[in-house]
Amino acid sequence: MMCCKVLLIKELEKPSGHWCRHAVIGKGCGIYEDRPPVCQKFHCQWIRDPGLGPEWKPEKAKFVLYPDRETEEVFNVAVDPAFPDAWTKPPFFAAIKNWVLEGAERGRYVMVHIGKRWIAVLPDRTVELGNVEDEFVLMRERGPTGRMIGVQVKPPSPATPTAAPVQADSRNRMGN
């Protein structure tokens, strides 16, 4: 049910970091049979990966881990704003860093979303990207081996024809 709080659900006009008006705490979705397709298709990584133990259950971990819809090298961690440091606690941060390191040569990184605050976890450091709102361009920089060495959020510019603007919450909404 943590996805009912931390993720943006445009179809229900639900902002990230706030409970969905249809969530029935302790029970689940109040419109389960009629929930929008984006909710029907969403499965967090805890459900998808049997190797993740009970400590990774979103209600216990206080975040939802899910693969990015558009970029296979990216994992997202949508954190409950009431517990902004949950993702940094053991065993989570060590595992997140390990995932990034294992896929470093393919450009893998993790994007942490705490409401509008974004943080990128790269192989050698975490990068505070600040509050991301409105349209933006996510600039990724790779080193010669393909390893991700930098990430920046910039406003869209007509001088950036290869990078299309993205809505601020598109990376913080449910993946398919």
* pTM for this predicted structure: 0.81
Tens-place pLDDT, residues 140-154: 788 888 787 787 777
Give 93-97's long-range contacts (Cβ < 8 A, gap of 24+).
Answer: 96/121, 97/121
- Predicted local distance difference test score (pLDDT) of residue 48: 93
Q: Which residues pair with 77 in a beta bridge?
A: 65, 112
What's the burial of 76, exposed, middle or buried (CB within 10 Å: 0-12/13-18/19+)?
Answer: buried
Tens-place pLDDT, residues 55-94: 999 999 999 999 988 888 889 999 999 999 999 999 999 9
Rounded to whole angstroms, the Cα distance separating 125 from 115 reads 21
